[in-house]
Every structure is written in structure tokens, then in C-alpha cells.
Amino acid sequence: MDPNPRPQSAAGATAPSIIDGDQTSFMKDVIEASRNVPVLVDFWANWCGPCKTLTPILEKTVQAMGGKVRLVKIDVDRNRALVEQLAGLGLPMQSIPTVAAFWKGQIADLFQGALPESEVRRFVDALLKLAGSSAPAADLIGEARAALQSGAFDRAAALFHAAIEEDPDKPEAWAGLARAQLDGGDDEQAENTLASVPAKLAEHSEIAGARAAVALTREGRKASLARAELEARVAADPNDHEARFDLATALNAAGERDAAAEALLSIMRKQRQWHDDAARRQLLKFFEAWGVEDPATVAARRKLSALLFS
């Protein structure tokens, strides 16, 4: 067994764009490779606590970039000669972690210490811009939406973040970033993102929709804890509108949008003005959170129109 195990990626295996390097392969893995793609070099050690915090963040960020940047991890204890050589070239190696960015065979930038994920992303975004890999915000948003739909939440978040860096006046990018964070299970970060939206964009429909999605998810997760009880109450008494209303919120949180909408429509069919039209108002919140083009919105809006105008 290796007495000094290397930090592992969050996925449990080294991704193609993430490798362990050493002094014998440094020229090929870093210098030569950086002529085609930016390369981050993570200088770490097994005894270094901050390294164990930073390395997973670096790996997550690089994986989210889909091959636009690579990461080479160097154990300083096993590669003393390389560390001394780089120190002789002016690379500060007095403390670790040290992360150096290489582009076209040269050191383009570096930082030391364990930075938070947001700062690491900014560092990588700046490197990509230097390397000419930045894309128009609209292209980044399109790619991010595709990643979001496929469930690649970290990649979607990184792309939306890059779009914001490219054009901070894009409400679609801010809303998309919040939704990617929300779908990835980080409600608090999604709320922080929405709190950072420029004031002039705060009332845009995209931002309002993301804000509604965060609020409904928070409500839904609370209701989900009692879902079995709510389903039993509705089964026992189909006119228990309060239970059905809460069940709709739980269903929405579980991603069962059609069923959530149907629960609210069922209340309206039985008692349209129940609790001051609460079912219709909640359904409109669902529409706002899902988006006007979502199939569940389209189908439920059609049923709602038929109900209201029948």
C-alpha cells in the first residue's frame, strides 16, 4: 500500500484532464502540453492540511471545464529536484499549496494557499481568457443550459459563471447559475448568487423565476419529510385540500411537476376559491419557477385555462 496516498478526485478516479505528474514527466505533461491547452500545476504534500481542502476544489473546477484546462498534481516530497529547479527559476515554493498556471510553456499566473471555490473559478476563468478560450456569453449560456439539462450541474455552474464574467448584464446567466447550484443541492449558494444580481436585473423574469424555484425547493423539502403522511390523508379524505396543497409542494420538490400541477388543479375543480384562491396562486408560482416553455407548464396552463373559462 502506498504510504503517502495522493489526493483523490471527488468522483473517486482521476479524470483524463487530471493527472499525477513528477519530475521525469514535467516537461511533457506541463511545458509541452501547455502549448495547446492551459495547464494548472498543484504543488501539494500529504502532510499539508490546506492541500487536502484545495485539491478537490481544483479537480471539481477542472472537470467542469470539459477539457479546456488541465491539472497536473505534483507531490513536493517526491519531487524535490523539480521543486528546487523551479524555485531557481523564480517560482515561489516556500509554502504549499502553490498552484501555478502554465500557458505556451511559461508561467502565466500563480497563487498560494487554499482559496474558496469562487476564487479558484475566477483564477481559471482569467487563465482561459488569457489563452483566448473565452467565448461569447450567449454561447456559454447555451452550452451551460445543455449541461444543466443533462444533469452536469458543476459544469453548468462553471459555464454560467464564465458567462457572467464575460457579460455581467445577462440575467439568463445569473438565473442559470442559481438554478445549477440549486439543482446541485446547494440552496444557500443559489440564494447568495441571487443576492449578488445587479440591481437593474433584479426584477427580470429570469431572475424572478430562479428566485421562485429556490423558494419552492425550500418549501418542498420541508413538505417532502411528511409526504407519506400527506398521501395517506388525501387517500382517506379526498376533500382534505390542505393536505393536497402541501402534497403538491412536496411533489414539485421531487421533480414530479405534472403530478404537482394536477394536485393543485384537483383542489380548484372541487373548490375553486379555497383559501382565497391559494391553489391557483401556488400553481402560478410553479409556472414561474419552471419557465414558460417547460412542458409541464404548457400542459398545466392549458388545463388551468379550460378550468377557468369553462
Segment (H or E) for 101 = strand 98-103
Residue 289: strand, helix, or coil: helix
**What DSSP state is assigned to residue 237?**
-
Place of cell 516530497: 77
- Residues with active-site annotation: 48, 51
What's phi and psi for 70, nearest 5 deg?
-115, 160
| Secondary structure, 3-state, 103-143 | ECCEEEEEEECCCCHHHHHHHHHHHHHHCCCCCCHHHHHHH
**What DSSP state is assigned to residue 184?**
T
What percentage of the chain's residues is helix, strand, coil (to nearest 5)? 60, 10, 30
Segment (H or E) for 209 = helix 205-224
Report whether 125 contacts 161 (CB < 8 A). Answer: yes
Smallest CA-to-CA distance from 71 within 33, 104, 97 is with 33
